[in-house]
Chain A
């Protein structure tokens, strides 16, 4: 290959990288604008809603909270207490102890005065069998609680057991360690009851980070910004993703994922599609894609809704090791889901879902780390070949950095002007500082985890879930 051919190839690559970056940035801007408009609309619509009647009405639809638990002995009793303190009247809680090796079950039996009961399970979805059986409390104060002890089958299998057991019309699938605000259920059920021109199949909520927040009796009493830089950076990342991203996708009815930490589903549709896929580590995304695909194939008008209120708080990884393991899993989950449902991509039969949502996820979520890593390698090659034009490299690097800072600041504004959770003095300055630091303290690790996730997906098929070490929330005494 002569020099001119190499130069032409390099030129093409320049334009490809430039075009990709330009498209990504444009999409972020467009999504942010749509999110902003949608958030304002949401706040206006909900500023005069009376939630009290729904929450106390016997006619409000029943909801079953399904919370899978595996070796959660440290916090299980407190976590269940939090789930039982919801203000909604017509709900029950099913804790699926997924073959825990610790003393979770014993602790629950003792704390909630449980006894074994006979319960006929309509096994609409195949799951691992029961181990110790099904338990209910002898104490009427905990009549909403049911504990299912089964053999280990993973989170998806535990959720499927919950789907088989639930008798209600709607199911709220939640991580047991999540802290739900008392008004979470009535806010999340609203779209199901309100939309009349389409069937709402699922509603997702914002996930907020609870590290360093103060919890009392299963209730959030004080929101604090954690001291750990990694956790702080994740707070900013979550604000961006939830307030500037998902809100827009909700408006476009293009949401492909509802966080596994908290989402409400139409049980009938969830069962009709076969429940959660036990062969993926991204079961939360996969079930939504499958439910959407099912509705599209049935030719039914549907919607996946999203509520921006901070209703669910969870513990985020506070060490890089756990963080990388989590993001590695998210990457593999995305790859598995998109691969499994590749038929949808660019397929006009699936409308917006096939032509916009799926391609966006494929190009700007699935491919993003690969293209970024390829860009870095390309950069190194150019340096080695002394072909790098520094004036271009530095100016675009600076522009990209400034855009990322601006985007984070936009997310902070969105939070301040809507939900304003980080009220304490000095927090605003810290968040702004984080906007400048995050590209260095968080992004490289996200990229590393995503690349590792790709490698693990293709070359280490046996890798499943990573471990998440729970430290528990800070609690205050009354």
Chain B
């Protein structure tokens, strides 16, 4: 007590800044001590969650496999299946357990197909899991809504269409994206109708994901993509170009020709690439005529087109660009010349070194 009194007196004699430093030091020491003690609990808790999750996973996996094997032809849900459903129902209200049940269900859904998938969907609906997913859609937190939509997409719940529709234009990209995926996953090409009015950008990531979803369907009958090729939203046009390429949309060639003069350079380049794929030889003359006005990337893309669609009549144009300032174009021009006039190509080797282009010098060994 006396020692403490001495310390206090000693402290009181300190200048203001020193006092402040000691005060802060005491606060920090207390904070550090609390954090160290709490860290022990945090780590213990995290380890426990992992152990519990593993235990639940094994338990639910067993139950669900048993459920699938208890199927009886005559009835929709057999008696043993009903017992399992009741058992699961009791666990669903607990968040941690619900999370594990969903992940196990989804894992199993990915491993099976056909009727078995439908049986698992019955579990999802009859255990009340769907109810919790729909509740998530009403949350004020964007990530909860996005997770809810994602879950309904994974379990292919088409009845949630009306609830999810408003989220197609949600201000948060993640929510919007999940809503887009929901409609494409469940309604295939028809689900893409949101593109008609889409004003927000569709990222490259989202585009690839949607194309992958579409390609998983057995029915590859594509809808009319013409309106999207004329969209004011550039990302929608880019997506439509990808569709045209992937689904060989020969009937949109005229629109593709129009896109060669689009104000967005990326669209123009992609249009050249799609026309190349669709054998759009009519684009060659247009691009040749405007070659000098094209950006370097467009010029390279056009030479890529010529590499695939070249005819002997193109030779003068090719020759003209053997000494183009860009190495890639020089190289492509040489390759194309080799394919249409091997004698002229071999003749280039006779040029003196100082008259050769960089690409010619590089290709000398292989000529």
B-binding residues in A (CB < 8 A):
44-45, 47-48, 50, 53-54, 56-57, 59-61, 118, 120-122, 124, 190, 192-197, 391-392, 395-396, 398-399, 402-403, 405-406, 409, 412-413, 416-417, 420, 423, 425, 428-429, 432
B21 touches A395 (CB 8 A): yes
B204 touches A409 (CB 8 A): no
B47 touches A59 (CB 8 A): no
B205 touches A193 (CB 8 A): yes
Asked if B194 lies at the interface with its beta carbon under 8 angstroms from chain A, I say no
A395 touches B25 (CB 8 A): yes
CB closest residue in chain A, given B245: A59
**What is the bound-complex CA distance between A197 and B203, given in angstroms?**
10
- Identify 17 new A-B residue pairs, CB closer than 8 A, beyond the known A57-B208, A197-B201, A399-B21: A56-B212, A57-B211, A57-B212, A59-B208, A59-B211, A120-B362, A190-B205, A194-B203, A196-B203, A391-B14, A395-B21, A398-B25, A402-B25, A409-B35, A413-B42, A423-B47, A423-B50
**What is the bound-complex CA distance between A59 and B210, given in angstroms?**
11
Asked if B147 lies at the interface with its beta carbon under 8 angstroms from chain A, I say yes
CB closest residue in chain A, given B40: A428
B209 touches A53 (CB 8 A): yes
How many residues of chain B get a CB closer than 8 Å to chain A's CBs? 48
Interface membership of chain B positions 294-338, coded 1 if the CB is closer than 8 angstroms to chain A and 0 otherwise: 000000000000000000000000000000000110010000000
A118 touches B32 (CB 8 A): no
**What is the bound-complex CA distance between A192 and B204, given in angstroms?**
9
A120 touches B32 (CB 8 A): no
B39 touches A54 (CB 8 A): no
Residues of B within 8 A of A406 (CB): 28, 31-32, 35
A420 touches B205 (CB 8 A): no
CB closest residue in chain B, given A45: B174
A409 touches B32 (CB 8 A): yes
Question: Given A45-B174, A47-B143, A409-B39, are A402 and B208 neighbors across the interface (CB < 8 Å)?
Answer: no
The smallest C-beta distance from A438 to any residue of chain B, in angstroms, reads 14
Q: Is the interface of A mostly helix, strand, loop or mixed?
A: helix
The smallest C-beta distance from B330 to any residue of chain A, in angstroms, reads 10
A118 touches B366 (CB 8 A): yes
Q: Residue A193 contacts which of B42, B174, B204 (CB distance < 8 angstroms)?
A: B204
B174 touches A396 (CB 8 A): no
B18 touches A392 (CB 8 A): yes
A402 touches B209 (CB 8 A): no
Residues of A within 8 A of B242 (CB): 59
Residues of B within 8 A of A56 (CB): 212
Q: List 14 A-B contacts (CB under 8 A).
A: A44-B143, A45-B174, A53-B208, A54-B205, A59-B208, A118-B366, A192-B204, A193-B203, A193-B205, A196-B201, A196-B235, A395-B21, A398-B25, A406-B31
The smallest C-beta distance from A124 to any residue of chain B, in angstroms, reads 8
CB closest residue in chain B, given A425: B47
B18 touches A417 (CB 8 A): no
B363 touches A53 (CB 8 A): no
Question: Given A45-B174, A413-B39, are A402 and B28 neighbors across the interface (CB < 8 Å)?
Answer: yes
User: Sorted from nearest, which 3 A-B pairs have the closest CB atoms?
Assistant: A395-B21, A196-B201, A53-B212
B39 touches A412 (CB 8 A): yes
Residues of A within 8 A of B31 (CB): 406
Question: Given A194-B205, A391-B14, are A399 and B24 neighbors across the interface (CB < 8 Å)?
Answer: yes
B42 touches A54 (CB 8 A): no
B150 touches A48 (CB 8 A): yes
Asked if B43 lies at the interface with its beta carbon under 8 angstroms from chain A, I say yes
The smallest C-beta distance from A223 to any residue of chain B, in angstroms, reads 14
**What is the bound-complex CA distance between A193 and B173, given in angstroms?**
14
**What is the bound-complex CA distance between A399 and B19, given in angstroms?**
11
CB closest residue in chain B, given A120: B362
B32 touches A48 (CB 8 A): no
The smallest C-beta distance from A168 to any residue of chain B, in angstroms, reads 14
B174 touches A399 (CB 8 A): no
CB closest residue in chain A, given B17: A392
A122 touches B327 (CB 8 A): yes
A432 touches B36 (CB 8 A): yes
**What is the bound-complex CA distance between A413 and B147, given in angstroms?**
25
Residues of B within 8 A of A423 (CB): 46-47, 50
Asked if B365 lies at the interface with its beta carbon under 8 angstroms from chain A, I say yes
CB closest residue in chain A, given B42: A416
A50 touches B18 (CB 8 A): no
Asked if B178 lies at the interface with its beta carbon under 8 angstroms from chain A, I say yes
**What is the bound-complex CA distance between A61 and B32, given in angstroms?**
47
Question: Given A196-B203, A392-B17, A395-B18, are A432 and B362 neighbors across the interface (CB < 8 Å)?
Answer: no
The smallest C-beta distance from B347 to any residue of chain A, in angstroms, reads 20
CB closest residue in chain B, given A417: B42
Residues of B within 8 A of A417 (CB): 42
**What is the bound-complex CA distance between A475 and B61, given in angstroms?**
33
**What is the bound-complex CA distance between A57 and B203, given in angstroms?**
16
CB closest residue in chain B, given A397: B21
Residues of B within 8 A of A59 (CB): 208, 211-212, 242, 246
**What is the bound-complex CA distance between A255 and B319, given in angstroms?**
47
**What is the bound-complex CA distance between A235 and B280, given in angstroms?**
58
Residues of B within 8 A of A396 (CB): 21
Asked if B339 lies at the interface with its beta carbon under 8 angstroms from chain A, I say no
Asked if B291 lies at the interface with its beta carbon under 8 angstroms from chain A, I say no
The smallest C-beta distance from B139 to any residue of chain A, in angstroms, reads 13
Q: Residue B143 contacts which of A45, A57, A428 (CB distance < 8 angstroms)?
A: A45
The smallest C-beta distance from A17 to any residue of chain B, in angstroms, reads 13
**What is the bound-complex CA distance between A402 and B32, given in angstroms?**
8
